[in-house]
Structure 1
Amino acid sequence: MTIQTLTIGDPFFAIRILKDESRHPISGKAIVLNLADTALKVREQSIGALQSVILTETEIREVAQAVLIEGYDDHSDEADLLARIRQTWPSAFQVRGEERLRGVEHYMSPKVWVGQYGFTLYHSASVPLNVGLHCDHAFCPVPGFREVHTQIIGFGKMQQCRERDVASLYLEETMAPGGTHRPMYDAQGNYPWHQYETITPSVFMAIEMLPEGAFPPEV
């Protein structure tokens, strides 16, 4: 049984990773994302793999591995919160250097790896965001890379396209606080052209999952 605190959300959000917890109380309000292949339980409900919910003053059970995001609902002035995040986090272009991110109002926390799982918070400030369609994750050369995104603040949408052109859009999922889009990868880790787009200024968490035989880029 372990509980690991991640500091990437400080001082805005409290993030913890739970592993092999038979029971864990939820105080106040929290977003819970199940990272395990097996379901976790809350009262009479089962939360499946890579599904997330908002829970309030309850208990989760049979937790093989999950991430808790707490404190996201404690901010009375959302505009002020997002302004402070922009003052704290660098732009994604500064960190990643990808041309599609140049001039985009997209900010990111530090990234942390816990085993094969990578966690990063992003703040998307403009509407529209125009972050750019992509389908490759070049830092993971081993087939089977997986990634999902969990909405924390604001509203967004995950878009999938047939080609590198938003006009070829064929699937769009709306994302509200506490929600995680359905996985879009196939068994080999192949992705369609996709992008996150804002409906309102937003914060979300990206969860990257490396297959066996792959190692975090920092290693």
Structure 2
Amino acid sequence: MNVITAEKLNFDSELVGAMVLRDADAFPITERTTVVNLAQTDAYVGTTQLSPLPPLSSTVLVSGTVSGELLLALTVADEVGQEQRARALGWLDFYGADGPVLLKSQQDTVGTVTIDRRAVLHQPVLPSNPERFTVKANLWFSPAGTDCGIHNLHPFIEVHTQVTGLGRMQKFDDKRHDALYEDQLLSPGTTNPIPFCIDVDGEFTYPWHQYRADTDCIWLALEYHAI
């Protein structure tokens, strides 16, 4: 099942290279790359000794190979002028002129995976119920010190991978910054470890949460939509 070519996503650019690998078998890594495992089976990364990359997790590879069912590979040549370059690429100014700077790339549909939502969300599995989900992805940018907006509604499972800079995913008891109760710190190549939502009668229920940029940041949002 060798991957001969890698498919570039529609937000691939000189700012962040983005490509998807499908059924990859020892795909070579030749530059510093953030690899995200989008599937619900282990991927494998390394050189002489391979190690597993669990589902919905990521790592930074400098060389070696990667194998897996569905993978996203992100590369960054440099981090100079990220906001200006993102605007030049036409990234959406999510809040417009009156809100915080939050720029969004195009979104692309990466593929489909089979998952058990209760297993992924670490809820009791009674019984196992595999479903097909469509995986969508896009990039975001915010400058240092930006609170990107407390919210609690998503009709999908969401996780975030840090691409550049330092940021955090935060949870709140209600829609107030002083109601913060959990701070998950993210450095380049890391993904928040477990999706924030739970399944309640087939609906994804989220706490109040937001992304915060500690430095100028680019991060990846992954959405899993039930088919």
- Tell me which interval the TM-score lies in, with the shorter structure as reference length: 0.7 to 0.9
Q: Determine which of 14, 18, 22 is the counterpart of 2:21.
A: 18
Q: So what's the TM-score if we normalise by structure 2?
A: 0.79
C-alpha distance in structure 2 between counterparts of 1:9 and 1:123, whole Å: 14
C-alpha distance in structure 2 between counterparts of 1:81 and 1:121, whole Å: 12
Partner residue, 2:57: 51
Partner residue, 1:130: 147
Instruction: Give the structure with the larger strand fraction.
Output: 2
Runs of 5+ consecutive residues of structure 1 not aligned to the other structure: 95-100, 213-219
Partner residue, 1:215: none
Q: What is the CA distance between 1:90 and its match in structure 2? A: 2.9
SS in 2 for 1:69: strand
Partner residue, 1:172: 183
Q: Determine which of 143, 146, 170 is the counterpart of 1:159.
A: 170
SS in 1 for 2:84: helix
The answer as to 2:138 corresponding to 1:120 is: yes
Is the contact made by 1:53 and 1:178 (CA closer than 8 Å) also made in structure 2? yes
Equivalent pairs, count: 194
C-alpha distance in structure 2 between counterparts of 1:161 and 1:178, whole Å: 25
C-alpha distance in structure 2 between counterparts of 1:86 and 1:153, whole Å: 17
Q: So what's the TM-score if we normalise by structure 1?
A: 0.82
Partner residue, 1:7: 10
Is the contact made by 1:28 and 1:57 (CA closer than 8 Å) also made in structure 2? yes
Is the contact made by 1:7 and 1:14 (CA closer than 8 Å) also made in structure 2? no
Provide, for residues 133-160 of structure 1, a one-character-per-residue CA deviation record: whole Å limited to 9, x for no partner.
10102xx3xxxx2111111111101001
Provide, for residues 108-146 of structure 1, a one-character-per-residue CA deviation record: whole Å limited to 9, x for no partner.
111112341111111102x32122210102xx3xxxx21
Is the contact made by 1:40 and 1:60 (CA closer than 8 Å) also made in structure 2? yes
Runs of 5+ consecutive residues of structure 2 not aligned to the other structure: 112-133
